[in-house]
Structure 1
Amino acid sequence: MVQGKVEDGQPVGYWEWYRLDGTIKRSGHFNAGEAVGEWITYDQKGGVYKVTHRG
């Protein structure tokens, strides 16, 4: 499952991706369709696994 907002066909704002079991997998922000800022990847239990900074 994915949660986020689309404007003019582009992802914008905060987005979250979830595994089939409902735990969060990844989260991050988009600006006009481009990944920006801090992106977090989560482990199987929902704890922070990795943090990536995008332009």
Structure 2
Amino acid sequence: MTLSENIKNLRKRAVMTLEQLADKLGVTRQTVSKWKITYLFRMQIYCLRRQMFLTLR
């Protein structure tokens, strides 16, 4: 599974639009669309996944 597929799946599980995800991460929708794997991105995704997991429980 690619990074973009992972983001899309996590976003759908949390019932979020791309814009809502960007707002939670404090960036624009275009930024989320263009991101590549970096340390900062990984940390933001980790925090977001943790938040989504806690929300889904």
TM-score by shorter chain over 0.5: no
Greater Cα radius of gyration, structure 1 or 2: 1
* TM-score, normalised via structure 2 length: 0.22
* TM-score, normalised via structure 1 length: 0.23
Greater relative contact order (Cα 8 A, min sep 6): structure 1 or 2?
2
Higher strand share: 1
Higher helix share: 2
